[in-house]
């Protein structure tokens, strides 16, 4: 007995395969973005933390699916990666000295510090 595929069956099969491929691409992208070097410390504690230091990298939010992050090197030389939203990062640039209030692993506020003199 010969198997016959109708155009509707072929269309459904193509849709299933293409959506599966898209899911694999999105998962691979999110996994590659979450990889971090071992020397960095992820600030992910439930309590409120205050960090003062210099911004060494910024990663803005993308498409509301991937959270942004801010990497701050504190006065002891420890690097902290902190999750952020785009509106909190407004006006913050690499090289700025900042005061960051972190709650539950996310930046609740970022204040740019100015040197006097």
**pLDDT, one tens digit for every residue, the chain (117 residues):** 566 767 777 777 677 767 766 666 666 666 555 555 545 555 554 567 889 999 999 887 766 666 788 899 988 999 988 888 777 888 888 999 999 998 887 888 888 987 544
Question: CATH code for 41-113?
Answer: 2.40.50.140
Lookup: tokens for 58: 């910024």
Query: What is the C-alpha separation between 9 and 72, in angstroms, rounded?
Result: 54
Query: What is the C-alpha separation between 72 and 62, in angstroms, rounded?
Result: 20
Model pTM score: 0.54
């Amino acid at each position: 007995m010969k198997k016959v595929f109708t155009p509707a069956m072929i269309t459904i099969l193509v849709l299933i395969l293409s959506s599966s491929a898209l899911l694999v691409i999105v998962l691979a992208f999110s996994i590659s973005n979450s990889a971090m070097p071992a020397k960095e410390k992820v600030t992910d504690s439930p309590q409120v933390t205050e960090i003062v230091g210099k911004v060494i990298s910024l990663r803005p939010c993308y498409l509301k699916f991937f959270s942004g992050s801010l990497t701050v090197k504190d006065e002891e030389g420890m690097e902290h990666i902190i999750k952020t939203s785009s509106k909190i990062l407004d006006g913050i640039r690499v090289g700025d000295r900042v005061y960051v209030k972190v709650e539950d692993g996310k930046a609740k506020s970022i204040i740019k510090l100015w040197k006097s003199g």
